[in-house]
Amino acid sequence: MNSAPRPVVLSGIQPSGHLTLGNYLGAIKNWLPLYREYDCYYMLVDLHAITVRQDPAALRERCYEFLALYIACGLDPSNNVLFVQSHVGGHARLAWVLNCYTQMGELSRMTQFKDKSQKNADNINAGLFDYPVLMAADILLYDSAQVPVGDDQKQHLELTRDVAIRFNNLYGTPERPVFRVPEPMIPPVGARIMGLQDPTAKMSKSDDAVTNALYLLDPPDIITRKIKRAVTDMDNTVRYAPAEKPGVSNLLSILSATGGESIAALEARFAGQGYGAFKSAVAEAVVECLKPVQARYHEIREDRDELRRILRDGAVRAAVRADATLRRVHDVLGFIPE
Ligand code: TYM
150 CA distance to ligand 1 centroid (A)?
A: 6
Q: Which amino acid residue places its CA nearest to atom 18 of ligand 1? A: 23
Q: What is the pLDDT of residues 94-138, one digit of tens each?
A: 999 999 999 999 999 999 999 999 988 999 999 999 999 999 999
Q: From residue 122, give the alpha-carbon distance in Å to each of 53, 105, 117, 119.
A: 11, 22, 8, 9
- Residues annotated as catalytic (active site), given as ranges: 116, 202, 205
Around ligand 1, the residues with Cβ closer than 6 Å are 10-14, 22-23, 25-27, 45, 48, 135, 138-139, 147, 149-150, 152-153, 156, 191-193, 202-203
Local structure of 88: helix, strand or coil: coil
Mutate to test the pocket of ligand 1, among 13, 119, 135, 147 (most ligand atoms within 8 A of CB): 13
- Residue 235 contacts residue 245 (beta carbons within 8 Å): yes
28 CA distance to ligand 1 centroid (A)?
A: 10
Q: What is the pLDDT of residues 178-199, one digit of tens each?
A: 999 999 999 998 999 999 999 9
Q: 0.85 exceeded by the pTM?
A: yes
Q: Which residues contact 150 (CB under 8 A, 6 or more apart)?
A: 22, 23, 26, 27, 186, 187, 190, 191, 192, 193, 202
Q: What is the pLDDT of residues 268-304, one digit of tens each?
A: 999 999 999 999 999 999 999 999 999 999 999 999 9
Q: Which amino acid residue places its CA nearest to atom 9 of ligand 1? A: 23
Residues 136, 134: Cα–Cα separation, whole Å: 5
